[in-house]
Amino acid sequence: MRPGRAFYAVAVLGIIDALWHHKSEVVTFQSQRASDVLTPSKDEGLKPTFNLYPLPGGAGVGFGFQF
């Protein structure tokens, strides 16, 4: 089998496998009253946040507060 045909044979097998194992995406919606969503709860306040993120040659750290 020539190399070009082997590529297409493997591609066809991959496509058939993807179609065979495909799972459809399920989306659910939830309705809420606008007053429930927009009104903050009483326990919300000042929250500390800690961030660790990658940098070239190391890592970075961040600390802050969310209101």
Domain positions in the chain: 43-67
pTM for the structure as a whole: 0.35
Do residues 63 and 47 lie in contact, with contact meaning Cβ atoms separated by under 8 Å?
no
Q: What is the DSSP letter of 63?
A: E
Phi, psi of 37 (to 5 degrees): -80, -40
Residues of the chain with pLDDT under 70: 1, 35-44
First to last CA, the chain: 66
Q: What is the pLDDT of residue 55?
A: 86
Q: What is the pLDDT of residue 44?
A: 64
Q: Is 61 helix (H, G, I), strand (E, B) or coil?
A: strand
Measured over the CA atoms of residue 41, residue 45, residue 50 and residue 51, the dihedral's sign is positive
